[in-house]
Amino acid sequence: MKKEKLFVDNLKCGACAASIKDGLLKLEGVENVLVHEEKGMIEIDHDGQNEYTVFLERLSKMGYPQRGTSTLVQKGKSYVSCAIGKFKEPST
């Protein structure tokens, strides 16, 4: 089992975290995803089938690019992903 740690932009809340987790778990070989909202960090446990860049590409398409590289379009996408995550986020 391999572990990747990624730092991303636009991670704002639990709904963002839910969208990120859902999006990454759809990738083949991904076993677990932990999202640390306060740090803007994502930990991915995977079987090594995917390279680091595959995770970065998926996150970027969702609006959560690598830290320091965010564009206005990606910020907009992150708000959409966040809104979708609000429907998936467990209520407390």
- Would you say residue 89 has pLDDT above 90? no
Looking at residue 79, its pLDDT comes to 79
CA distances from 50 to 12, 28, 44, 64, 82 (A): 26, 8, 11, 18, 25
Domain count, the chain: 1
Looking at residue 31, its pLDDT comes to 97
Q: Average per-residue pLDDT in the chain?
A: 89
Q: Which residues 6+ apart lie within 8 Å of 40 measured at CB? A: 7, 8, 9, 11, 67
Res. 92 pLDDT band, cuts 50 70 90: very low
How many residues would you count in the chain? 92
Report the CATH number that the domain containing residue 25 is assigned in CATH. Answer: 3.30.70.100
- Would you say residue 49 has pLDDT above 70? yes
Looking at residue 80, its pLDDT comes to 81
User: Domain of 27?
Assistant: 2-88
Q: Which residues 6+ apart lie within 8 Å of 72 measured at CB? A: none
